[in-house]
């Protein structure tokens, strides 16, 4: 049977056995309204026509005994009594049992929404309605599609931030030593500060105890017109293949020089590599 919610007019297809003959209280699955639904109307049953009572059986009239000659007195035989006719009972039709209505479910039970059945398709069984979606229920909106332009824009912005951070780190800290790039051996030149370490004032020899010795002497002169700070000095020893084999830092005797002022630098180290042949002197990189 098809029932409809009186509040929102939502229709439902339910089996007759779910409502029953006496009806039941149901609730709409959409608007949650409850009402009492009457059961389906049963067709009128044709009562059997009464059968006429059978006529009583006719009683046979008594037959007169024929006259017999008088004989010796004997004990008269007892005649069998004739049973009186008994009326046959009228067959009364037994009432046909009426099938009990199916047990109704609990009151206020939600009814499944009536599915939309297209033409030419067989009607599904009653048990299949519970798993079928309702055509009256609200459907969620479709998920919006992702915009590839926005994704590429966000990726480009993140990449630009990473590059800017990397450039700022290199500018502040410098390139790391593990990178396979050529690093400058000495720092930038300083036009107002002049280094003078002539080769004839460099001493490279082996001491009597077998220790390798290297000494260097020179001067630092401020040729500018302003006071200049003197940075640390770097001495680099190279072998015959011009490869660096030893380096050390030299702190200047004075931190700053006035215009025209000069300072002497005398440094010597031991235990230098035997492969060291000559020295290069310059400013230490910052």
Is 208 contained in some domain? yes
Question: 133 and 7, same structural domain?
Answer: yes
Shortest CA distance to 34 belongs to which of 1, 60, 3, 13? Answer: 3
Distance separating alpha carbons of residues 56 and 89, to the nearest angstrom: 11
pTM higher than 0.85: no
Is 250 contained in some domain? yes
Please count the structural domains in the chain. 2
Question: 197 and 136, same structural domain?
Answer: no
Question: 133 and 205, same structural domain?
Answer: no
Q: For residue 220, what are its two tokens? A: 């630092």
Distance separating alpha carbons of residues 164 and 171, to the nearest angstrom: 11
Is 163 contained in some domain? no
Is 85 contained in some domain? no
In degrees and rounded to multiples of 5, residue 50 shows phi and psi of -65, 135
Is 69 contained in some domain? no
Question: 132 and 2, same structural domain?
Answer: yes
Per-residue pLDDT of the chain (286 residues; tens, 9 = 90+): 888 898 898 988 888 888 888 888 988 988 988 888 888 776 666 566 666 666 665 555 555 555 555 444 444 443 433 333 334 344 444 445 445 444 444 444 555 555 555 554 455 444 444 455 555 555 555 565 678 888 999 999 999 999 999 898 877 776 666 665 556 788 888 889 998 988 888 888 888 888 888 888 899 999 989 999 999 999 999 888 888 899 988 888 889 999 999 999 998 888 889 888 888 899 998 7
20 is in which domain, residue-wise? 1-40+98-140
Is 65 contained in some domain? no
Is 50 contained in some domain? no
Question: 255 and 136, same structural domain?
Answer: no
Is 267 contained in some domain? yes
Question: 7 and 135, same structural domain?
Answer: yes
Report the CATH number that the domain containing residue 270 is assigned in CATH.
2.60.40.10
Q: Do strands 244-250 and 233-238 pair parallel, antiparallel, or not at all (unpaired)? A: antiparallel
């Amino acid at each position: 049977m098809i029932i409809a919610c009186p509040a929102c007019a939502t229709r439902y297809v339910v089996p007759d056995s779910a409502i029953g003959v006496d009806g039941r209280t149901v609730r709409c699955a959409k608007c949650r309204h409850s009402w009492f639904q009457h059961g389906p109307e049963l067709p009128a049953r044709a009562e059997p026509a009464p059968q006429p009572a059978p006529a009583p059986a006719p009683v046979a009239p008594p037959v007169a005994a024929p006259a017999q000659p008088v004989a010796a007195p004997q004990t008269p035989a007892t005649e069998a009594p004739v049973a009186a006719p008994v009326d046959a009972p009228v067959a009364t039709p037994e009432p046909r049992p009426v099938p009990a209505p199916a047990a109704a479910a609990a009151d206020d039970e939600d009814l499944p929404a009536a599915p939309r059945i297209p033409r030419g398709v067989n009607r599904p069984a009653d048990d299949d309605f519970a798993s079928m979606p309702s055509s009256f229920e609200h459907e969620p909106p479709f998920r919006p599609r992702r915009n590839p332009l926005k994704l590429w824009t966000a990726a480009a912005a993140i990449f630009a931030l990473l590059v800017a951070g990397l450039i700022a780190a290199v500018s502040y800290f410098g390139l790391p030593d593990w990178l396979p790039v050529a690093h400058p051996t000495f720092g930038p030149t300083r036009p107002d500060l002049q280094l003078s370490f002539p080769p004839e004032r460099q001493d490279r020899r082996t001491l009597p105890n077998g220790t390798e010795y290297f000494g260097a002497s020179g001067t630092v002169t401020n040729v500018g017109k302003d006071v200049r700070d003197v940075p640390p000095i770097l001495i680099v020893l190279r072998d015959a293949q011009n490869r660096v084999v030893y380096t050390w830092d030299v702190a200047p005797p004075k931190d700053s020089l006035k215009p025209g002022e000069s300072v002497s630098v005398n440094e010597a180290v031991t235990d230098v590599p035997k492969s060291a042949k000559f020295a290069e002197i310059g400013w230490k990189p910052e």
